Copies of this chain bind each other. A is one copy, B any other.
Amino acid sequence: MALMVKKYGGTSVADLERIRVVAEQAQEDRRQGHDVVIVVSAMSGETNRLMGLALEASDNPNPRELDVLLSTGEQVTIALLSMCLAEWNCPAVSYTGAQVHIRTDSAFNKARILDIDQRRIRRDLEKGRVVVVAGFQGVDEEGNITTLGRGGSDTTAVALAAAQGAKECQIYTDVDGVYTTDPRVVPKARKLDRLTFEEMLELASLGAKVLQIRAVEFASKYNVPIRVLSSFEAGEGTLIAPEEAEMEQPLISGIAFTRDEAKITVQGVPDKPGIAYQILDAVADANIEVDMILQNISNESATDFTFTVHRNDHERALGLLETTCGELGAQSVTGDASIVKISLVGVGMRSHAGIASTMFGALAAEGINIQMISTSEIKISVVVDEKYLELAVRALHTAFGLDQDSEED
């Protein structure tokens, strides 16, 4: 007998047939004597439908009203799921974010959870009820409806699990766990049994879209293990939990990549203090996020400055810099949108030298030129020509012993 906090994403509640599957699982959990709290997203497609209406009303919908609108998506799901449970005489009760006082700040469309009043939920659990909570939404101090941003339902679930002291937070999705890399690129990709929060954060931010970054941050902060599971098939999924001191960590847990990058190089910039600031300031002012930044060593008092941005922002960033290029006294600005970023992630990296050389060696063996390199404590990222993406990821996957076959030998 334990408390289970389970979250189901949009594809897991896409229609009444899928919602009934969720209800069946909850009923089975109850039969086994567990307390059950379920967090649900909007039925898949619903948030897009509502967003479409908003954009029909306004090119730039009022943020407060957008949250009033979007929050109806999850409200529909909680009602339908609770109806299915009631239909089978399984006592259930649904709550919107406001009803269980998921209190957030007032940053509409991207609010942060401040606290949760779990008394109401606890009272219902004591009465043997399945508690169904709308994900993605909360309420600010003034009683305004807020939303946590896309994927915020994961955060709701983790926050509830933390508040209720659940042993783990189960996130049901349409994949059966977190993989060493994208199985569509590397057929030999292997499902991971376990990952640390730090690894998941790096993998999530690098493009493995299984979990929302903020949910992982939240889980890490409150030390709530997350289990990623498929709602379509049985399995143990992947456990994301604190690092265990006694366990030997694999060197590399996974390989993430993103095709959304583009590179901009400002060449022949006078090498003087403040130049990096001047370049990036113009970009930041335009609300363009910069990912990797690289400055080559000075050459005859001039230097080259390279950074990457999201591919969607590439043209705009180029245009901006061409304007400021003259003011800076730079020679030229060039861009390249045909690049990809590939990252190795693993907490084992911290205690082992030689990861980088193995990585660069594997890429060199395939004749792949590395354009940029960036490292962090548990991550090494390289930028290469996009035509090498699949080749590079597969080579690295094999080089670090991640392939499914070698594992099962």
Which residue of the partner chain, among B62, B69, B79, B84, contacts A68 with CB atoms under 8 Å? B79
B16-A99 in contact (CB<8A):
no
A65-B50 in contact (CB<8A):
no
A-B contact pairs, 17 of them (CB 8 A): A19-B57, A53-B76, A54-B79, A54-B83, A57-B87, A58-B86, A61-B83, A64-B93, A66-B83, A68-B78, A68-B79, A68-B82, A68-B96, A69-B75, A69-B76, A75-B75, A99-B145
- List residues of A (47-61) whose CB comes within 8 Å of B's CBs: 50, 53-54, 56-61
Asked if A98 is at the interface of the complex by the 8 Å CB criterion, the answer is: yes
Asked if A80 is at the interface of the complex by the 8 Å CB criterion, the answer is: yes
A56 to B15, CA, bound (A): 10
Which of A65, A71, A98 has its CB near the most chain B CB atoms (within 10 A)? Answer: A65
Asked if A94 is at the interface of the complex by the 8 Å CB criterion, the answer is: yes
Asked if A265 is at the interface of the complex by the 8 Å CB criterion, the answer is: no
Closest chain-B Cβ to A360's Cβ sits at a distance in Å of 52
Asked if A72 is at the interface of the complex by the 8 Å CB criterion, the answer is: yes
Asked if A361 is at the interface of the complex by the 8 Å CB criterion, the answer is: no
Which residue of the partner chain, among B16, B56, B143, contacts A56 with CB atoms under 8 Å? B16
Closest-by-CB residue of B relative to A100 is B143
A133-153 contact mask (Cβ, 8 Å, vs B): 1 or 0: 000000000011100000000
A68-B54 in contact (CB<8A):
no
Q: Which residues of the other chain, B, contact A62 by a CB distance below 8 angstroms?
A: 82-83, 86-87
Measuring CB to CB, which residues of chain A are less than 8 angstroms from any residue of chain B?
Answer: 16, 19, 50, 53-54, 56-62, 64-66, 68-69, 71-72, 75-76, 78-80, 82-84, 86-87, 93-94, 96, 98-99, 143-145
Tally of this chain's copies: 2
Closest-by-CB residue of B relative to A83 is B57
A16-B79 in contact (CB<8A):
no
A86 to B72, CA, bound (A): 20
A144 to B82, CA, bound (A): 14
Q: Which residues of the other chain, B, contact A16 by a CB distance below 8 angstroms?
A: 53, 56-57
Q: Which residues of the other chain, B, contact A56 by a CB distance below 8 angstroms?
A: 16
A143 to B78, CA, bound (A): 16
Known: A53-B16, A53-B76, A76-B72. A83 touches B99 (CB 8 A): no
Which residue of the partner chain, among B58, B64, B80, B96, contacts A57 with CB atoms under 8 Å? B80
Which residue of the partner chain, among B54, B65, B75, contacts A72 with CB atoms under 8 Å? B75
A72 to B84, CA, bound (A): 18
Which of A62, A84, A94 has its CB near the most chain B CB atoms (within 10 A)? Answer: A62
Q: Which residues of the other chain, B, contact A99 by a CB distance below 8 angstroms?
A: 143-145
Closest-by-CB residue of B relative to A72 is B72
Known: A87-B58, A98-B98. A53 touches B80 (CB 8 A): yes
A145 to B98, CA, bound (A): 11
A62 to B71, CA, bound (A): 21
A83-B58 in contact (CB<8A):
yes
Closest-by-CB residue of B relative to A60 is B87
B65-A79 in contact (CB<8A):
yes
A94-B68 in contact (CB<8A):
yes
Known: A57-B16, A72-B72. A82 touches B94 (CB 8 A): no
Q: Which residues of the other chain, B, contact A143 by a CB distance below 8 angstroms?
A: 99
Closest chain-B Cβ to A103's Cβ sits at a distance in Å of 14
A98 to B139, CA, bound (A): 12
Q: Which residues of the other chain, B, contact A79 by a CB distance below 8 angstroms?
A: 54, 65-66, 68-69
A57-B76 in contact (CB<8A):
no
